[in-house]
Amino acid sequence: MPSIAGEELLMSMRSILNEWRELSLREKIEVAKTILMEIGAVRSERASEVQAELRSLGGPHEHYHSKGAPEGSTSRYRSLSDASRTWAGIGEVPHWLQEEMDAGETPLADFKVR
């Protein structure tokens, strides 16, 4: 059997759900946007706390970036718009390459260095 606090919480949740059902689609979208903004703020705050904790431990606090392809590997793919962007074909597809493929619906083979 739920405690008094549990019963009050359950009644509050039912009330909120009833109010939600009465909202228009536009109002529900606004509520969802507000919730997402709050989640973003909490995540940002928590990230700052974790970075501060890492600094206090002497650990890395910079944003993680790939160190690139292993030594000795050669570029197999090159950007069609910026020749300085290359990828060895190892690991996850870089964002720039994925964006270029999506933008022009260009297959990976078209980026191959010949």
Token readout for 17 is 């759900």
pLDDT band at 3 (very low <50, low <70, confident <90, very high): confident
Token readout for 111 is 């980026």
> Tens digit of pLDDT for each residue in 94-111?
888 988 888 888 888 888
Count other C-beta atoms under 10 Å from residue 14's C-beta.
10
Q: Which amino acid, residue 83? A: A
pLDDT band at 64 (very low <50, low <70, confident <90, very high): low
- pLDDT score for 74: 78
Percent of the chain surpassing pLDDT 70:
85
- pLDDT score for 66: 57
- pLDDT score for 13: 92
* HEC per residue, the chain: CCCHHHHHHHHHHHHHHHHHHHCCHHHHHHHHHHHHHHHHHHHHHHHHHHHHHHHHHCCCCCCCCCCCCCCCCCCCEECCCCCCCEECCCCCCCHHHHHHHHHHCCCHHHHECC
Confirm if 55 and 61 have CB atoms less than 8 A apart: yes
* Residue scoring higher pLDDT (73 or 80): 80
